[in-house]
Chain A
Amino acid sequence: MIKAILVFNNHGKPRLTKFYQYFNEEMQQQIIKETFQLVSKRDDNVCNFLEGGSLIGGADYKLIYRHYATLYFVFCVDSSESELGILDLIQVFVETLDKCFENVCELDLIFHVDKVHYILNELVMGGMVLETNMTEIITRIEDQNKLEKQEAGLAAAPARAVSAVKNMNLPQQIKDIKLPDLPAAIKDLKF
């Protein structure tokens, strides 16, 4: 079982939090903070497993994480999950994001956290792995987006126009924050 999925950036700002076990908001923030402290002090060339923090987990739980450019993807799982399998799952997640957002960067996660949630929901359900086939995942997501578009129809057109105008004011500096390409970080791992 997966107990929690956390995505935060290099400064510990949460970009996505999904807890499959109830914690109140205050506790959630503490967990994010603790996890960030645990993960961020590790070099990039050390292993991706971490015996869990004190707040989340216990002896049976592990933190399995990957660091992509400015973002940490952390999964807190128990011993029923395969460590290497979860690493692959994180990779599937990130690649799905990459497909859905076309060159995903931190900004996409910041402004479309809801969409990221919908994507995650197609991978993991209630703490259990639902699907690992990316083609299938993307089909489902596209189907749902189509459904949403149909519903929006003409009514949404003016709203889209307005948001397009709003988007033009997007401060330039945010645009510059980009996820460097994934391959560089990973290509030296091979099996």
Chain B
Amino acid sequence: MALRKVKGNLERMFDKNLTDLVRGIRNNKETESKYISQCMEEIKTELRQDNLAVKANAVAKLTYLQMLGYDISWAGFNIIEVMSSPKFTYKRIGYLSASQCFHQDTEVLMLTTNMIRKDLNSHNMYDSGTALTGLACFISGDLARDLANDVMTLLTSTKPYLRKKAVLLLYKVFLKFPEALRPAFPRLKEKLEDPDPGVQSAAVNVICELARKNPKNYLSLAPVFFKLMTSSTNNWMLIKIIKLFGALTPLEPRLGKKLIEPLTNLIHSTSAMSLLYECINTVIAVLISISSGMPNHNASIQLCVQKLRILIEDSDQNLKYLGLLAMSKILKTHPKSVQAHKDLVLQCLDDKDESIRLRALDLLYGMVTKKTVMEIVRRLMTHMDRAEGTMYRDELLQKIILICSQNNFQYITNFEWYVSVLVELCRMEGTQHGGLIASQLMDVAIRVVAVREFTVGQMALLLDNAHVIVGPAAARSSIAEVLYAAAWICGEFSQLLANPKATLESMVRGKVVSLPGHIQAIYVHNMLKLYAHIIATAEEEDDSEMIEEVTNLLLERLPVFVSSGDLEVQERASCIVHIVTYVQKCHKHGDKVGADLALLMTGELNPVAPKAQKKVPLPDGLDLDAWINDPPSESEEEEDDALEKEIFVKADSSYKHRKEKYEPSEEELQKLRDARRAEQASNPYYVKSSALSSPRPNHNSIQVDEIPVTAIDLNVSLKIPGMTSLDKYQVVDGWQDGGKKRHKKQKKRSKRKGQVSSSSEEEINRMHVVNTDIGEMPEGAHLSDDYEIDDRPEDDPHRALDINLDEPLSPNEVLPTRTHYEAHAQRKIESNNEAKLIPSEIPLKMKTRNKKERKEKKEKTKKVKKEEKKVKKKPSRDANLILDLIDPLKETVISDKVPVAANHINGIADAKNKEKSKSKKTKTKKEKKAKKEKDRDKPEKKLKKNEKEIDTLSRNRDEYEETNGTVTQEVEEKLAVPEPQPYSRLLAEDSHIRIVYSTAAMDGVMSEILVCIKFISQSSKPISKLQLILPDSSALKMIRTPGKLVFETGYRLFPPKEMGMAVFQRKQRQPDPQSELVNLPWSLDPGESKETQLSFTAEDVTIPHKLRGSLSYIQDGSSSSSDISLRLEFPVTTFLSGKTASRATFTDLLSSGQLSARSSFTLPNCPWSFPEVLEELTLGGSLAVVECVDQTASLYGRSLHGHHVCLLVKYQASHHLTIDGKSTEGILLSNALDHLKTTLMQKQ
């Protein structure tokens, strides 16, 4: 057996590993697929072996192949096998592979629930970490539901690494299992105040992500975020928060007003470009939401525009791009401010970077005025000639049209010019915007009556030169669409044509048949219109020659269309052929039919409101869903099918037939059809509907309806459906004077003025006036009554997350816990009781987490029963509290009065660790707990306690029983630990200025202290030219210029060693590397205060340091500068940070024996109360409270060089204070205690 194993190991060595596979692929470049399929076979045999190492190797290879595009989902089961390996190495391979190829619909995932749960709860932090990471990639609805509880448990882990990951994973859990959001939210909210900055940042990240999609549910969090924003220095997080505010402000303008000030401060102070940019963005969002009623919002706008100009002028293309992007947002609400920078934007049009040119184009759109439009369009046209690449050219073309057509042609004064521009644009080769140009032409022709004649003339020319437009290059473009417009305009307004006959000729000849079907159809139809016009005029003039000529021309050319492949064309053509034949017949008899013929096409076009169709009321008694006939039975359906087929075949054959030869043998059939068509042709409504439904040929023309002509303006939707009809022409232009029903036969609205132009710019005389009516609406309908539509796609998971989070949780809103079958019954009783809410009757039931625990529990039944009795006796007032205790999950949610401080939980999570450490203290603990129980029985004290922060322990009850015997109440009371505030000390003061400073050890950045110096003006005059002189001492140095060039990139401000989080640190200035001089670039106005930050490193953190220096400044009005000498003190506690404190690490430390140094001191007559002492220690001494019971507390701090300091503070009623200290470093400890002692004594 052993031999076999050795042999297996040896063989294994010669298996291909990942490196061999990669190498093999690289060596077989020509036969790659063959090589890989060979490898796949090998992998398959490897996967069949029992050895997990071999399997892991195979899975690793598969993961690589997946990247190359090979499907590896068939190995799903093997991947799970590898994931379940006890070895971290293999587990990691398995999870990586799973995260690459599994997704929420992978079926094998349902096998993984228990395995993943085991991994999440593993003792090895990295096992859980790997599982969390993997889960984030492939979590499914089932997994989310089953594991939500385990993820929640990890939120209280002692390890920030796991907390951080669990917080992020929560977001994915919410997406897949929205029910979890409400029960989990309070816990998530707590994480916003987690002691670890990474966890904090993760929580911000998750909430921002949630709030972005459903902002209104998160408005109540605004104060929390506001506090974070003003206190945090983590730029990465600040950016997220500021972005979130950008999403919240539109919903709550008051918030915006509050934001403006801190944001502008940030804009002034930060030098992090990323932060600056986001601040500007949010300020813009705020200004948009409160566009009026702000006293000095003009100043903010100016500031933004100014800063953006700096960005745009920067040589960095990235900043330039972003600057333009943000500028376009301002443009929407404050065009005037942006217009001042026209020069800059036009300059950007010449940039070599296409993205920047496109952004500049966007901006240009809003900068147009009546005066500048011609100039700008001219420039764009020249750009277009020069531009290479159709994509950019198309973009230019679209922009030109958008610029001109915005707001119902607000800026166009001379429409003849605009029509010429459009005609000019037709010459563009290979454009995709033919449809856009066409709709513009039609729009102008219809709505600007004054320029109609000119347009018609131009269009006739266009038709005459159709061959130029539709050249050989037209195949891939949609430019032919303009012919559609041209034909329609010439036909519709044929009375304005100079020479109708010539136009008719140009329409008939040429390669019309090569055009797309819908254009041919329009051609054919408008031939009839032209014909009717010509006949009518010719009859008046008795020009029979002309009549005959034209009639013959049509009869000669129309058969080509009759045999067209396009049904629409065919139908119209054959209809017209018969009309023309009929007219010819009439003329032979000498009858005048011109007037009758023209009647077919008379009538003014009326605009129809955009939503008119939707608003047509449903007549009473009409049920659109009811069957008109009885629903067909299945057999009938079959018959229908057969029938359909037959029809299809028949139609097909007849169609072919006709195509080959147009024979009179079909006359009978044809007659029937024609009769029907003639009838339809005389019905204007019919033509319209058929035009609409005419199948568009599949060339990639842009559907006219989809062109976002005025998508920019919210009120005005201006779209022109390119279709013809006699009576019902839709001009869709909505004006908000809505709701009035217009009468149909209203003619000539040319006298109406566009409301847009009623502004001051009206002085510029408009040569032509645009018809801008609201259009026809059904009676009683209003244009404005919109339906609020959720535009998110149906399957967007965020829809389900639109949940009100402020509502208190109801008792049944808990995360599903794992319960066993027998436990289920128990739960029912429990919930019944909850429902009844008769607290005195509630038996204390426990939730069992798994079978083992349950067994244990049975062993302890006696104890439990005792507990139950106790509980029953308790007064009803406690009921809520007890309920909380019953379900570990509800502890944080039921009562709002019980906010659980995150760090408290942290300390308690690992019960096993605690067992060890507590063994000593058990006795005292028992006493205390007993005391507490007594307390609880006293109602008046109870009330007090509710007001205090009460921490309810969520651990398993069983564990508690092990440690504490009969204790039932897992309630520990804690004093509110004050929020760490910058603890300022006075640095210097004179009659003009007061300087305070605070220090902070930078967490994660080794041996660095951040000193925040605040200058407060006490003078009545501005103070300027502030200059700090701080020479380094031997042991303390100010951090100056960054080291290597490598890191001096991007938008980061800090030197390399502070990578990462510190990258985004806010910092106001860089100290001058050459000297100890620090010039402060700002001045202080009277009463103003400003801050600056300096970073220092210390070589030795075990002894206190001092730094002497001076500050010079000039007070306005006085010629000489004043000097104050400064003394920066760095007591050893400066170098301590309590951020990593947790009870588990604390007890580990104490029991490990590392803390060799001991020291203590006593203050017999301490005048301060216990909370005040604690405050002094946590704020002044930078220590963190790990545990605090009654008047005893343990504190922890870690120096920048990794020394641990643990303190035990005892406070007796007689103002007797004892502080015992243990540390890994004796000097540090004694110095720290000395300092604390002096400060505590000084306080007296």
Contact = CB atoms under 8 A, between A and B. Distances in A.
Given A22-B103, A80-B208, A125-B168, A162 B20 contact: no
A132 B237 CA distance: 11
Interface in B189-248: 198, 202, 205-206, 208-209, 212, 236, 239-240, 243
A121 B60 CA distance: 16
Given A47-B318, A125-B169, A87 B1051 contact: yes
B838 interface: no
Contacts of A137: 1060
A111 B165 contact: no
Contact of B1050 (A16, A140, A189): A189
A27 to B, nearest CB: 10
A80 B277 contact: no
A143 B126 contact: yes
B626 to A, nearest CB: 40
Contacts of A135: 1004-1006, 1059-1060
B123 to A, nearest CB: 12
B318 A87 contact: yes
Contacts of A45: 317, 352-353
Contact of A125 (B92, B133, B353): B133
Interface residues of A, number: 75
Interface stretch (B68-76, B256-264, B491-499): B68-76
B96 A83 contact: no
B531 interface: no
Contacts of A132: 236, 1060-1061, 1063-1064
Contacts of B950: none
B209 A88 contact: no
A111 B129 CA distance: 24
Given A22-B104, A187-B1045, A126 B1061 contact: no
B1047 A95 contact: yes
Contacts, number: 221
Contacts of A158: 9-10, 13
Determine which residue in A20, A121, A137, A186 has the highest number of CB atoms from chain B within 10 A of its CB, and name it: A121
B164 interface: yes
A133 B93 CA distance: 25
Given A118-B92, A128-B209, A182-B1046, A166 B19 contact: yes
Contact of A170 (B23, B66, B352, B1053): B23
B318 A155 contact: no
Given A91-B1050, A130-B164, A48 B318 contact: yes
Interface residues of B, number: 93
Contact of B1004 (A46, A133, A147): A133
B1059 A134 contact: yes
Determine which residue in B26, B66, B318 has the highest number of CB atoms from chain A within 10 A of its CB, and name it: B318
Given A25-B66, A84-B277, A125-B132, A131 B92 contact: no
A128 B171 contact: yes
A92 to B, nearest CB: 6
B793 to A, nearest CB: 10
B77 interface: no
Contacts of B317: 45-48
A141 to B, nearest CB: 10
A117 B198 contact: no
B66 A84 contact: no
Contacts of B205: 128-129
Interface in A57-100: 80, 82-85, 87-88, 91-92, 95
B1050 A191 contact: yes
B1244 to A, nearest CB: 42
A110 interface: yes
B291 to A, nearest CB: 22
Given A47-B320, A84-B273, A191-B273, A20 B13 contact: no
What secondary structure prevails in chain B residues at the interface with A? helix
Nearest to B244: A80
B126 A147 contact: yes
B136 interface: yes
B1059 A92 contact: yes
Interface string A141-153: 0011001100110
Nearest to A132: B1060
Contacts of B20: 166
Given A29-B69, A91-B1049, A111 B22 contact: yes
Contacts of A140: 129, 161
B104 A130 contact: no
A152 B87 CA distance: 9
Determine which residue in A24, A84, A132 has the highest number of CB atoms from chain B within 10 A of its CB, and name it: A84
B1062 A133 contact: yes
Determine which residue in B20, B64, B92, B272 has the highest number of CB atoms from chain A within 10 A of its CB, and name it: B92
Contacts of A87: 318, 1050-1051
A148 to B, nearest CB: 5
Contacts of A53: none
Interface in B1042-1081: 1044-1053, 1059-1064
A46 B352 contact: yes
A145 B846 CA distance: 42
Contacts of B1044: 183
Nearest to A85: B274
B17 interface: yes
A70 to B, nearest CB: 15
A160 to B, nearest CB: 10
Contacts of B105: 22
A7 to B, nearest CB: 10
B355 interface: yes
B325 to A, nearest CB: 9
A134 B1047 CA distance: 12
27 contacts: A22-B103, A43-B353, A45-B353, A46-B356, A51-B355, A80-B208, A111-B19, A121-B96, A128-B209, A130-B165, A130-B168, A132-B236, A132-B1060, A135-B1005, A136-B1060, A140-B161, A143-B126, A144-B126, A147-B126, A159-B13, A163-B17, A181-B1046, A187-B1045, A187-B1049, A190-B1049, A191-B272, A191-B316
Interface of B: 9-10, 12-14, 17-20, 22-23, 26-27, 60, 63-64, 66-71, 87-89, 92-93, 96, 100, 103-105, 124, 126, 129, 132-133, 136-137, 161, 164-165, 168-169, 171-172, 198, 202, 205-206, 208-209, 212, 236, 239-240, 243, 271-274, 277-278, 316-318, 320-322, 352-356, 1004-1006, 1044-1053, 1059-1064
Task: Report, nearest first, the 7 A-B pairs whose CB atoms are least far apart.
Answer: A126-B136, A133-B1060, A84-B274, A134-B1059, A22-B103, A47-B317, A186-B1049
